[in-house]
């Protein structure tokens, strides 16, 4: 047998010579000890010394690159004001500053009285964003949500929200302690209700059972406030891809729904059913196309291939509708936020891209909610 085919010979022939091999950190003998110890590099714990150790030329180079990136980004003026100098954070983790969400008032609702809102399955508090855009003052906003990622966004964007935890834990005693609620917002999970899911459990299993919690709460409030001569407005949302039995059950509990599509306001198709006792909700709106195009709602360095996107879901496999440097790309979280009517970086609460996409796919389209709740402005202003 040739020598190079013997067992173990090829391994030695392919290795570097012993003089060129690296065996890790140099081992030294500590004085007064017979054991061999590894010499580790010294760590600087003093931030002042660490800041002085950073080369000023390197920091200036990072600062120039950071300023160039900001100048090419929409809203660069606000970002420069909110940003921190990299020289102040020398030696620390260099991150892009976080920008707070500021809602603009679309309708003159500042003359309305403050209201108390109960939001079930609240998510990222899209209902509160819509009320802020309408200018309706909120005295107390009670939120029922258990998703940890949604709670992180909620605590960062709306720290004054009062959390109630799981919707199943909201008993009649809890409802009595909340005061006179003026508005109830809800949108139960649709993963087990949509026909798109072949493994759906329907209303009798999985997350579909959460729908009956809303029915229980709204019936209790209506019976209670009827005796107190107080009217509570409510809005319930779910997907329009419901099977026949589920739709019949919901219609028997809440009446005939109204079908709305986000394409009337934004370049994305998202059809939803809405139930409620809000004026004008019993009739479908006239379908009109938004004047915005998909190019207006995506990042500036991308090119839209189509003019209108399909329904936004947590699965981005079919959402390669943009090009970047000649390659097909998925929608980014900021694209999702703009297509849902939110401010860019609204869900940027130190979450992964997948986590942000899932939160946004489950959320509401803000312009649609604003259009529905706009009829409440004269009601709350005269009550």
Instruction: Identify which of 327, 273, 274 has the alpha carbon closest to the alpha carbon of residue 301.
Output: 327
Cα dist from 306 to 267, 293, 320, whole Å: 10, 9, 10
Instruction: Identify which of 240, 250, 246 has the alpha carbon closest to the alpha carbon of residue 272.
Output: 240
- CA triple 148-149-154, angle to 5 deg: 95
Residue ranges of alpha helices (H) inside 107-259 are 126-134, 148-157, 172-176, 210-227, 244-254
Q: What is the spatial distance between Cα 302 and Cα 324, in angstroms, rounded to a whole number?
A: 5
**What's the token pair of residue 354?**
């997948």
Q: What is the spatial distance between Cα 274 and Cα 213, in angstroms, rounded to a whole number?
A: 17
Active site residues: 190
If DSSP codes are grouped into helix, strand and coil, which group holds residue 125?
coil
Beta strand ranges found along the chain (DSSP E)? 27-29, 36-38, 115-120, 138-144, 162-163, 183-186, 233-239, 258-261, 271-276, 303-304, 322-324, 327-329
Unique residue bearing structure tokens 């964007």 = 157
Unique residue bearing structure tokens 């980014």 = 332
- C-beta separation of 244 from 199 below 8 A: no
Q: DSSP string of 166-205?
A: -GGG--HHHHHTT----EEEE----TTTBTT-TT--GGGS
Cα dihedral across residues 123, 129, 134, 140: positive or negative? positive
φ/ψ (deg, to 5) at 12 = -75, -30
Burial code of 47-75, b = ≥16 C-beta within 10 A, e = fewer?
Answer: eeeebeeeeeeebeeeeeebeeebeeeee
Instruction: Identify which of 91, 85, 158, 88 has the alpha carbon closest to the alpha carbon of residue 119.
Output: 158
């Amino acid at each position: 047998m040739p020598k190079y085919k013997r067992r173990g010979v090829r391994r030695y022939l392919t290795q570097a010579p012993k003089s060129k091999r690296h065996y890790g950190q140099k081992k030294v003998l500590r004085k007064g000890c017979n054991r061999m110890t590894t010499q580790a590099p010294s760590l600087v714990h003093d931030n002042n010394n660490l800041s002085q150790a950073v080369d000023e030329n390197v920091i200036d180079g990072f600062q120039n690159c950071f300023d160039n990136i900001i100048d090419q980004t929409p809203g660069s003026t606000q970002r420069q004001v909110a940003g921190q100098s990299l020289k102040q954070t020398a030696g620390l983790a260099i991150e892009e500053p976080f920008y707070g969400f500021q809602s603009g008032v679309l309708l003159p609702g500042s003359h309305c009285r403050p209201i108390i809102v109960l939001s079930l399955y609240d998510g990222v508090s899209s209902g509160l964003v819509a009320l802020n855009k309408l200018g309706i003052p909120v005295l107390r906003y009670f939120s029922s949500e258990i998703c940890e990622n949604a709670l992180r966004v909620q605590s960062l964007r709306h720290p004054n929200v009062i959390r109630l935890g799981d919707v199943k834990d909201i008993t009649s005693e809890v409802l009595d302690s909340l005061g006179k609620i003026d508005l109830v917002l809800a949108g139960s999970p649709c993963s087990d209700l949509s026909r798109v899911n072949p493994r759906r459990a329907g209303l009798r299993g999985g997350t579909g059972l959460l729908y009956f919690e809303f029915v229980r709460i709204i019936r209790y409030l209506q019976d209670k406030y009827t005796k107190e001569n107080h009217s509570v407005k409510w809005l319930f949302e779910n997907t329009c891809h419901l099977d026949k039995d589920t739709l019949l059950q919901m219609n028997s509990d809440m009446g005939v729904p109204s079908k709305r599509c986000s394409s009337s306001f934004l370049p994305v198709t998202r059809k939803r059913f809405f139930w409620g006792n809000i004026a004008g909700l019993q009739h479908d709106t006239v379908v009109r196309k938004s004047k915005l195009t998909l190019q207006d709602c995506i990042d500036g360095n991308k090119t839209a291939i189509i003019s209108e996107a399909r329904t936004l879901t947590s699965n981005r496999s079919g959402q390669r509708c943009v090009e970047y440097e000649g390659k097909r790309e998925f929608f980014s979280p900021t694209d999702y936020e703009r297509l849902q009517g939110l401010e860019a970086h609204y869900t940027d609460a130190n979450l992964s891209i997948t986590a942000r996409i899932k939160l946004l796919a489950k959320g509401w389209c803000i312009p649609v909610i604003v259009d529905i709740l706009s009829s409440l402005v004269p009601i709350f202003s005269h009550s």
